[in-house]
Amino acid sequence: MPIARVTRRVHFCAGHRLHNPDLPDDVNRDTYGLCNNPSGHGHNYDLEVTVEGEVDPVTGYVMDLKRLKALLESRVLGDVDHANLNVDVDWLSGLVPTTENLAVAIWGRIESGMSDVRLVSVRIWETERNSVEYRGG
Amino acid sequence: MPIARVTRRVHFCAGHRLHNPDLPDDVNRDTYGLCNNPSGHGHNYDLEVTVEGEVDPVTGYVMDLKRLKALLESRVLGDVDHANLNVDVDWLSGLVPTTENLAVAIWGRIESGMSDVRLVSVRIWETERNSVEYRGG
Amino acid sequence: MPIARVTRRVHFCAGHRLHNPDLPDDVNRDTYGLCNNPSGHGHNYDLEVTVEGEVDPVTGYVMDLKRLKALLESRVLGDVDHANLNVDVDWLSGLVPTTENLAVAIWGRIESGMSDVRLVSVRIWETERNSVEYRGG
Amino acid sequence: MPIARVTRRVHFCAGHRLHNPDLPDDVNRDTYGLCNNPSGHGHNYDLEVTVEGEVDPVTGYVMDLKRLKALLESRVLGDVDHANLNVDVDWLSGLVPTTENLAVAIWGRIESGMSDVRLVSVRIWETERNSVEYRGG
Amino acid sequence: MPIARVTRRVHFCAGHRLHNPDLPDDVNRDTYGLCNNPSGHGHNYDLEVTVEGEVDPVTGYVMDLKRLKALLESRVLGDVDHANLNVDVDWLSGLVPTTENLAVAIWGRIESGMSDVRLVSVRIWETERNSVEYRGG
Amino acid sequence: MPIARVTRRVHFCAGHRLHNPDLPDDVNRDTYGLCNNPSGHGHNYDLEVTVEGEVDPVTGYVMDLKRLKALLESRVLGDVDHANLNVDVDWLSGLVPTTENLAVAIWGRIESGMSDVRLVSVRIWETERNSVEYRGG
């Protein structure tokens, strides 16, 4: 059977502040610049999740995208959409909400929900200009 | 001389919470839904500003876009980019930071900076799906 | 109170065939070209609906977009999404499903659902290159 | 019959230099900045042309877009695509190739080709951030 | 010589219905949901084809994109554009026209047309939210 | 530590002419077609640069994007933006300015500026339809 990759792109909007409480304030300002603004800011995030698997000869699907959509809604979007990533999301607790940390955490939220397919990429566009991709490992 | 319209599109990211402190909490929740989340959220905003004027026969310009860009940076973006619209921007003070109120307020910030051209539209896309346009009046 | 315009953009995918049964086959082929293919084809349509009204001084809204979204879903998207516009949609019955006819028909479906605001534009992008806008009248 | 607007979006790439030979070099540099670079630069231009007319009750069309496409190719794109706007296009001769002058000139190239419809807008995006719209008059 | 990858993106619109005639109707409905609508629907598809090869030291090209464009038109677009994927395309005959099956079939249509370059990816976006990539094997 | 990839997308506009002075004129015309126009043309280029590295456990960053942005501005954009790629850029001297050659040259300009991260991809979109990716080697 051919192996193909299926990508689902979803959107969410969230607030965040980049700040590591273990660092002095001036180091936080130097490291995060405008993103360290004490009252926070936010983004429209684009999240692209890619899975890989055999194309089922009966259905012609690698994975029913309704299932992937439902998994993303229950495990990710329900928590992060219209939320503040610093305070509202328990599975981000203790992390500076950079796009890198967010991508790794989202991978952890959804990998166990995969059956018959393999998660190969979690990519997040924080703005039209900046993105992070995590491929596991 | 022909009359033409020139549009400059800029981007900023900001946090906000939709909440009117003069209303009871349950009315706020009913009115603003997820956008009333107490710890806020945020967006990548696209702002499109359109001016109208004669095409200068010598320069071929309605308005030097470097001047419009500089006006937007000094009067709008310097205040709202990477900011929290509820607390960081004095010219939004006392307003619920809906896209409508934001568009009207931005009009007020830049209209007086126009010389020889007429401001005709301030349009803001809060997400790829929702936008507000204010044309004065 | 300031008057502003609010736009909601939604998406649907549908099949159609451009064919007028009152015309001879060769005229249909000349008029509609590839779009007259007997077994039909389809598109991802982008629908932009714009309403105009006063910005409510209490809520900061022209119209709650959740209401506009619900109106579009119940009166338009529930019928046309994943449908064949020639045979599945009773309010398109008897019309050649051009983008023009579709825009006028969608206007008719939603205008009566407006309260306190005025419908000013229904715009449909059939492809990234072609769109139609209907403003009533 | 309902009146609707139809927009066709096309693309072309071209080189140009903003420079008015009647002005001193230092004024050219002040006026046009980087765009005055002596060896020129270029853009991918998006051109949106909008016409307005009655929806034909037989065809459901305002205007056959194949005709508008052919008009744009023969009167505009054949001359400007992969061209240098300062030297290759006779109908731009003597004009500084700003987006404003380009929009007005394109209007002049296509208005006489309209039958039964009215040209209402020529809009050009020079970059994702800057556009000019000419509506005649 | 450096090895580089060149991608050509093309567009087509087509109708389809997801339905496997070997399965009972209720299984088809459960499997394909709205996409099983008996009269079909359709999409604007974006097709991205990537090839890899040495950058020719004389031309600076991996492959003349005019050749890739011509190959895609003659082998793919001429058959699928403005077509119904269930009935109009002989090389899709017997396949459920999912994006997965479409990507694998397009690979088969163009791989033999490659000379001096290697086909590395066929990616299809069915909507802005869903895509499939096939890399052979 | 998890390994992630960070992409920064920037834009520039430039003019160019595809022409190899070592080839006869007719071969240049056959090879480059419209792109061989003697007076040149131009594009809005999108440049995507991807680096890979460990996510720093203290900052949550693979690489501070402000540093990547500054590197791209000083080593690439300052030279190519609003320039003519055939004559204005010394590090392109002697090269036909195809997108392939441009990608390889940009890789050479920035690779040595990476510390703690590994450059994995330079991708350039010359138009919305054509792109080239160089991954080194």
Q: With 90 as the cut, is the pLDDT of residue A57 above it?
A: yes
Residue pairs spanning B and C at CB distance below 8 A: 60
Distance separating alpha carbons of residues A48 and A55, to the nearest angstrom? 20
Distance separating alpha carbons of residues B2 and C11, to the nearest angstrom? 37
Q: Residue E63 phi/psi, 5° resolution? A: -160, 140
SS3 at position B5:
strand
Report residue F57 as tokens: 């456990």
Distance separating alpha carbons of residues B119 and B45, to the nearest angstrom? 20
- Alpha helices (H) in chain D, listed in sequence order: 25-32, 65-72, 78-80, 99-110
pLDDT band at residue B137 under the 50/70/90 scheme: confident
pLDDT band at residue C115 under the 50/70/90 scheme: confident
Q: Could you list the mean pLDDT of each consecutive 10-residue stretch along chain E, which spans 137 residues?
A: 97 98 97 97 98 98 94 98 98 98 98 94 98 95
pLDDT at E115: 86
Place of tokens 């300052």: F78
Place of tokens 């004024």: D27
Torsion of CA D108, D114, D119, D123, to 10 degrees: -60
Distance separating alpha carbons of residues F72 and D127, to the nearest angstrom? 20
Q: Note whether ipTM > 0.85 here.
A: yes
> What's the residue count for chain D?
137
Query: Where is D134: in which H helix or E strand?
Result: strand D130-134
CB-count exposure of residue B78 (10 Å: 0-12, 13-18, 19+): exposed
Identify which of D8, D58, D64 has the shortest CB distance to residue C129: D8
For residue D45, give the CATH number of its domain.
3.30.479.10
**Nearest residue to C46 via CA among C106, C94, C117, C136:** C106
Neighbouring C-alpha atoms within 13 Å toward the C-beta of C89: 27
The DSSP line for chain F is --EEEEEEEEEEEEEE----TTS-HHHHHHHHGGGG-TT-EEEEEEEEEEEEEEPPTTT--SS-HHHHHHHHIIIIIHHHTTEETTTS-GGGTTS---HHHHHHHHHHHHGGG-SSSEEEEEEEESSSSEEEEE---
pLDDT at A137: 81
DSSP E119: E
CB contact under 8 A, F60 and A31: no
| Domain carrying residue F29 | 3-134
Distance separating alpha carbons of residues A98 and A18, to the nearest angstrom? 7
Tell which of F50, F61, F118 to mutate to test the A interface (max A CBs under 10 Å): F61
Given a cut of 50, the residues of chain D with pLDDT beneath it are none
A33 min Cα distance to partner chain F (Å): 9
CB-count exposure of residue C29 (10 Å: 0-12, 13-18, 19+): middle
- Residues of B whose CB is below 8 A from D27: none
Query: Whole-model pTM?
Result: 0.97
Instruction: Find out whether A100 and A68 touch, Cβ atoms under 8 Å.
Output: no
CB contact under 8 A, C83 and E37: yes
Distance separating alpha carbons of residues A80 and A24, to the nearest angstrom? 28
- Residues of C whose CB is below 8 A from B33: 66
Distance separating alpha carbons of residues E118 and C27, to the nearest angstrom? 45
Is-catalytic flag, D35?
A: yes
Distance separating alpha carbons of residues A107 and A100, to the nearest angstrom? 11
Strands D3-16 and D41-54 turn out to be antiparallel
Touching status, chains E and F (3+ beta-carbon pairs under 8 Å): yes
Q: Residue B132 phi/psi, 5° resolution? A: -130, 140
CB contact under 8 A, B41 and A127: no
E5 min Cα distance to partner chain A (Å): 19
Cβ neighbours of residue F104 under 8 Å, at least 6 residues apart? E2, E4, E55, F122, F134
Identify which of B16, B37, B81 has the shortest CB distance to residue A83: B37
Q: With 90 as the cut, is the pLDDT of residue B115 above it?
A: no
Distance separating alpha carbons of residues A32 and D32, to the nearest angstrom? 35
The DSSP line for C102-135 is HHHHHHHHHGGG-SSSEEEEEEEESSSSEEEEE-
- Residues of D whose CB is below 8 A from F84: 15, 37, 39-41
Q: Closest residue of E to A1, CA-based?
A: E137
Distance separating alpha carbons of residues C133 and B7, to the nearest angstrom? 20
CB-count exposure of residue E26 (10 Å: 0-12, 13-18, 19+): exposed
Instruction: Find out whether B44 and A127 touch, Cβ atoms under 8 Å.
Output: yes
Distance separating alpha carbons of residues E42 and F95, to the nearest angstrom? 45
**Nearest residue to E66 via CA among F127, F38, F33:** F33
Place of tokens 């619900």: C70
Distance separating alpha carbons of residues B112 and B91, to the nearest angstrom? 15
Catalytic residue of the set D13, D54, D73, D82: D82
Report residue F52 as tokens: 């890979």
Distance separating alpha carbons of residues E110 and E63, to the nearest angstrom? 14
pLDDT band at residue C4 under the 50/70/90 scheme: very high
Among chain A, residues having any CB pair with chain F shorter than 8 Å are 18, 20, 22-23, 31, 33, 95-101, 103-104, 128-135, 137
Long-range contacts formed by D75-78: CB under 8 A, 24+ apart: D75/D109, D75/D110, D75/D113, D76/D10, D76/D12, D76/D47, D76/D106, D76/D109, D76/D110, D77/D10, D77/D12
pLDDT at D39: 97
CB contact under 8 A, B64 and D131: no
Burial B46-75 (b: 16+ CB within 10 A, else e): bbbbbbbbebbeebbbbbbbeebbebbeeb
Long-range contacts formed by C118-123: CB under 8 A, 24+ apart: C118/C51, C118/C52, C118/C53, C119/C49, C119/C50, C119/C51, C120/C5, C120/C50, C120/C51, C120/C52, C121/C7, C121/C48, C121/C49, C121/C50, C122/C47, C122/C48, C122/C49, C122/C50, C123/C47, C123/C48, C123/C49, C123/C50
Structure confidence by residue, pLDDT tens digits, A69-97: 999 999 999 999 999 999 999 999 999 99
Q: Is the dihedral of CA E78, E83, E89, E92 positive or negative?
A: positive
- Residues of C whose CB is below 8 A from E127: 11, 13, 44
CB contact under 8 A, B20 and C60: yes
C-alpha distances out from residue D30 to D18, D19, D38, Å: 11, 11, 14
In chain E, the number of structural domains is 1
- Residues of A whose CB is below 8 A from B44: 43-44, 127-128
Given a cut of 70, the residues of chain F with pLDDT beneath it are none
pLDDT at D97: 98
Give residue F49's identity as a one-letter amino acid code: V
Long-range contacts formed by F20-25: CB under 8 A, 24+ apart: F20/E58, F20/E59, F20/E60, F20/F96, F22/E58, F23/E58
Distance separating alpha carbons of residues C92 and C104, to the nearest angstrom? 10
**Nearest residue to F44 via CA among F3, F83, F14, F88:** F14
- Residues of A whose CB is below 8 A from B82: 34-35, 37, 41
Q: Residue F21 phi/psi, 5° resolution? A: -65, -15
Mean pLDDT, rounded, for C76-99: 98
Is-catalytic flag, A35?
A: yes
